[in-house]
Amino acid sequence: MTEDETVQDDGATPGRTVHRPVLFQEVLDALSPEAGGIYVDGTLGGGGHSLAIADRVGPKGLVISIDRDAAALDRVEARLAREPSANRGTVRMAQSNYADFPAVLELLGVEKVNGFLLDLGLSSDQLADRTRGFSFNADGDLDLRFDATEGEPAWQLLARLSAEEIADVIFRYGEERFSRRIAREIVRRRGERPIRKASQLAEICRKAIPTPPGRDRQRIDPATRTFQALRIAVNDELGSLERFLRRAPDRLLPGGKIAIISFHSLEDRIVKTAFRDTPGLEVLTRKPIEAGQTEQQENPRARSAKLRVARRIL
């Protein structure tokens, strides 16, 4: 399964989020934030989940909110200034990879926490920013990095790799069965003109993937899996998730919980296996929690969301 990226391109207003948190109530029910507790939200995004947790922990509580994307932190800072609340816990924000949360805890002098939340992938704010390559039809550079100061942009990856290596990335991270055709077309086209823009890659994918017989178009945009694959590769998304899952259980207080929302099967498999195989963790969701019909209708992103929760028992 892949992410459904058919989010409307609303055009983000500076300082305002267009991101609607998925499984909002389900996350709060799962974490059941305690008054005075300390929680880490590793994927701040538009701040929807972080602020709701901060409201639950109350003035004596603390939410440590991390995002790799500096624009997300700026947006939520503006939101906190606009929407002050006397009953809200302290929100401390840090620009970091969530996998490196131990360094953030150290800076704040925090040893253990009551809970972790990850809501993986990209936000609607990133999708609405037409300059960063997330939006298929935009003329922005095909960058796809959450933090543009780290690693290499996707256009550079496409210029550097062989056809076989490109096909491997698209197949492994996008589970795209036409990966070889797309890779061949990328290599052919880059020989004519560098592939620098998101719209160029989207057009290549649409040309390379055949329309199924009897349909005049695909169910999802043919570029979806390829963009997902490149984004996962340039951000090392699966590596970050694995690193986080090795580190987080030790930093939980007994009874503390980890809640993770994933959007495609590669992530979900990693979460499911780590929860099951980590000594001292009890899995609270034998089957992942999914969005109800109403939420799925109102928010296309929610259609592929899966929430898994585990609790530290020792």
Ligand X SMILES: C[S@@+](CC[C@H](N)C(=O)[O-])C[C@H]1O[C@@H](n2cnc3c(N)ncnc32)[C@H](O)[C@@H]1O
Minimal distance in Å, beta carbon 255 to ligand X? Answer: 23
Size of the site for ligand X (CB under 6 A): 23
Applying CB under 6 A, which part among 3-11, 47-55, 163-171, 197-205 lies near ligand X? Answer: 47-55
Q: Is 129 left (phi over 0), alpha (psi -120 to 50) or beta?
A: beta
Crossing angle for the helix pair 48-57 and 70-82, nearest 10 degrees? 50
Instruction: Report the residue number, 42 or 174, with the smaller CB distance to ligand X.
Output: 42
* Residue among 209 and 259 whose Cβ is closer to ligand X: 259
123, 135, 285, 299: residue in contact with ligand X (rule CB under 6 A): 123
Contact between 5 and ligand X per CB under 6 A: no
Quick one: tokens of 314?
């020792």
Hey, is 289 helix, strand or coil? strand
- In the complex with ligand X, the residue whose CB is nearer, 27 or 182, is 27
Among 39, 98, 136, 173, binds ligand X (CB under 6 A): 98
Position 89 contacts ligand X (CB under 6 A): no
Amino acid at 16: R
The CB-nearest residue to ligand X is 45
- What's the rounded Cα separation, in Å, for the pair 126 and 149? 16
Q: Interface with ligand X includes 33 (CB under 6 A)?
A: no
CA dihedral 50, 51, 54, 56 (to 10 degrees): -110
Nearest to 302 by CA among 107, 20, 93: 20
Q: Which of 46, 115, 222, 249 binds ligand X (CB under 6 A)?
A: 46
What 3-state DSSP class applies to 17? coil
Q: Which residue has the tokens 């253990």?
A: 112
Nearer to ligand X, 48 or 249 (CB): 48
User: Which candidate, 40, 241, 37, 226, places its Cα nearest to that of 142?
Assistant: 226
Among positions 39, 146, 227, 275, the unique one binding ligand X when judged by CB under 6 A:
146
Looking up tokens 């259609």 gives 303
Angle, alpha carbons 152-158-161 (nearest 5°): 95
Select the span of 114-122, 182-190, 208-216, 245-253 touching ligand X (CB under 6 A). 114-122
Footprint on residues 51-80 left by ligand X (CB under 6 A): 66-69, 72
Q: Which two tokens stand for residue 115?
A: 């809970």
Q: Cβ neighbours of residue 100 under 8 Å, at least 6 residues apart? A: none
Q: Does residue number 299 form part of the binding site for ligand X (CB under 6 A)?
A: no
Please tell me what DSSP assigns to residue 257. E
The 195-234 site mask, x for binding ligand X (CB under 6 A), equals: ----------------------------------------
Distance CA 195, CA 203 (A): 11
Instruction: State which residue, 207 or 269, has the beta carbon closest to ligand X.
Output: 269
Considering only 47, 115, 133, 222, the residue that binds ligand X (CB under 6 A) is 47
Q: What residues from 239 to 268 belong to the interface with ligand X (CB under 6 A)?
A: 240
Candidate ranges 46-54, 160-168, 271-279, 282-290; the one touching ligand X (CB under 6 A):
46-54
* The two structure tokens encoding residue 9: 């391109």
- List residues binding ligand X (CB under 6 A): 19, 21, 42-43, 45-49, 66-69, 72, 97-99, 119, 121-123, 146, 240
